[in-house]
Structure 1
Amino acid sequence: MSDRPVFVIGCPRSGTTMLQLMLHSHPRMAVPPETRFLVPAYYRRRTWGDLRVTQRRRAFAQWIATERSTKFRELKIDKDEFIRQCVEGPGSLGSVLGTAFRMYADRFDKPRWGDKRPSYVKQVDLLLRLFPDAQFIHLIRDGRDCVSSLKEMPWYNLDSFHAVSTWAEAIDAGGRLRRTLPEDTYYELRYEDLTDDPATELKKLCHFLEEDFAPSMVSPREAAQVAVPQHKVWHSNTHSDVLRSRVGSWANRLEDWEISLCEHMLGDRLESMGYELTGAPKPSKEHVIACQKTMQKRKASRMRKAMRDRLNRLREPSPVAALLTSGQCALAGVPHHRPEVTEPAV
Structure 2
Amino acid sequence: MSDRPVFVIGCPRSGTTMLQLMLHSHPHMAVPPETRFLVPAYYRRRAWGDLRIASRRRALAQWIATDRSTKFRELKIDKDEFVQQAVEGPGSLGSVIGTAFRMYADRFDKARWGDKRPSYVKQVDMLLRLFPDAQFVHLIRDGRDCVASLKEMPWYTLDSFHAVSTWAEAIDAGVKLKRTLPEDTYYELRYEDLTDDPATELKKLCHFLEEDFSAAMISPREAASVAVPEHKVWHSNTHGEVIRSRVGSWANRLDDWEVSLCEHMLGDRLESLGYELTGAARPAKEHIIAAQKTMQKRRASRMRKHMRDRFNRLREPSPVAALLTTRQRSLAGVPRQRTEITEPAI
Task: Tell me, yes or no, whether TM beats 0.5.
Answer: yes
Q: Alpha-carbon deviation of 1:145?
A: 0.0
Letter in 1 for 2:296: Q
Asked if 1:133 is matched to 2:118, the reply is no
In structure 2, C-alpha distance between the alignment counterparts of 1:45 and 1:81, rounded to whole Å:
22
Partner of 1:59: 59
Asked if 1:277 is matched to 2:260, the reply is no
Partner of 1:69: 69
SS in 2 for 1:257: helix
In structure 1, C-alpha distance between the alignment counterparts of 2:269 and 2:336, rounded to whole Å:
43
List runs of 5+ in structure 1 lacking aligned partners.
Answer: 339-346
Taking the TM superposition and a 5 Å limit, the aligned residue runs for 1:239-318 are: 239-318=239-318
Q: Is the 8 A contact 1:325 1:336 kept in 2?
A: no
In structure 2, C-alpha distance between the alignment counterparts of 1:195 and 1:281, rounded to whole Å:
30
In structure 2, C-alpha distance between the alignment counterparts of 1:318 and 1:332, rounded to whole Å:
14
Partner of 2:22: 22
Q: Is the 8 A contact 1:54 1:87 kept in 2?
A: yes
Partner of 2:160: 160
Partner of 1:343: none
In structure 2, C-alpha distance between the alignment counterparts of 1:196 and 1:128, rounded to whole Å:
32
Partner of 1:323: 323
Q: Alpha-carbon deviation of 1:334?
A: 1.8
Identity %: 87
Q: Is the 8 A contact 1:34 1:116 kept in 2?
A: yes
Partner of 2:113: 113
Q: Deviations over 1:204-245 (max 9, x none)?
A: 000000000000000000000000000000000000000100
Letter in 2 for 1:304: R
Q: Deviations over 1:284-304 (max 9, x none)?
A: 000000000000000000000
Taking the TM superposition and a 5 Å limit, the aligned residue runs for 1:41-56 are: 41-56=41-56
In structure 1, C-alpha distance between the alignment counterparts of 2:233 and 2:79, rounded to whole Å:
27
Partner of 1:218: 218
Taking the TM superposition and a 5 Å limit, the aligned residue runs for 1:190-229 are: 190-229=190-229
In structure 1, C-alpha distance between the alignment counterparts of 2:185 and 2:218, rounded to whole Å:
23
Letter in 1 for 2:154: P
Q: Alpha-carbon deviation of 1:337?
A: 7.1
Partner of 2:99: 99
- Measured on the aligned residues, the alpha-carbon RMSD in Å equals 0.8
Q: Alpha-carbon deviation of 1:328?
A: 0.1
Residue correspondences, number? 338
Letter in 2 for 1:197: D
Asked if 1:232 is matched to 2:232, the reply is yes
SS in 1 for 2:156: coil
Q: Deviations over 1:103-159 (max 9, x none)?
A: 000000000000000000000000000000000000000000000000000000000
Q: Alpha-carbon deviation of 1:248?
A: 0.0
Moved more, 327-336 or 317-326: 327-336
Partner of 1:143: 143
Letter in 1 for 2:291: C
Q: Deviations over 1:220-279 (max 9, x none)?
A: 000000000000000000000001000000000000000000000000000001000000
In structure 1, C-alpha distance between the alignment counterparts of 2:337 and 2:203, rounded to whole Å:
31
Q: Alpha-carbon deviation of 1:36?
A: 0.6
Partner of 1:89: 89
Calculate the TM-score normalised by the size of structure 2: 0.97
Letter in 1 for 2:216: S
Partner of 1:344: none
List runs of 5+ in structure 2 lacking aligned partners.
Answer: 339-346
In structure 1, C-alpha distance between the alignment counterparts of 2:328 and 2:336, rounded to whole Å:
9
Q: Alpha-carbon deviation of 1:333?
A: 1.2
In structure 1, C-alpha distance between the alignment counterparts of 2:279 and 2:151, rounded to whole Å:
23
SS in 1 for 2:69: helix
SS in 2 for 1:321: coil
SS in 2 for 1:69: coil
SS in 2 for 1:314: helix
Q: Is the 8 A contact 1:57 1:96 kept in 2?
A: yes
Q: Deviations over 1:40-74 (max 9, x none)?
A: 10000001000001100000000000001100000
In structure 2, C-alpha distance between the alignment counterparts of 1:143 and 1:337, rounded to whole Å:
47
In structure 2, C-alpha distance between the alignment counterparts of 1:55 and 1:121, rounded to whole Å:
33
Q: Alpha-carbon deviation of 1:335?
A: 2.5
Partner of 1:169: 169
SS in 2 for 1:136: strand
SS in 1 for 2:7: strand
Following TM superposition, the consecutive aligned residue runs of length 4 or more in structure 1 with deviations greater than 2 angstroms are: 335-338
Asked if 1:182 is matched to 2:182, the reply is yes
SS in 2 for 1:178: helix
Partner of 2:38: 38
Q: Is the 8 A contact 1:86 1:99 kept in 2?
A: yes
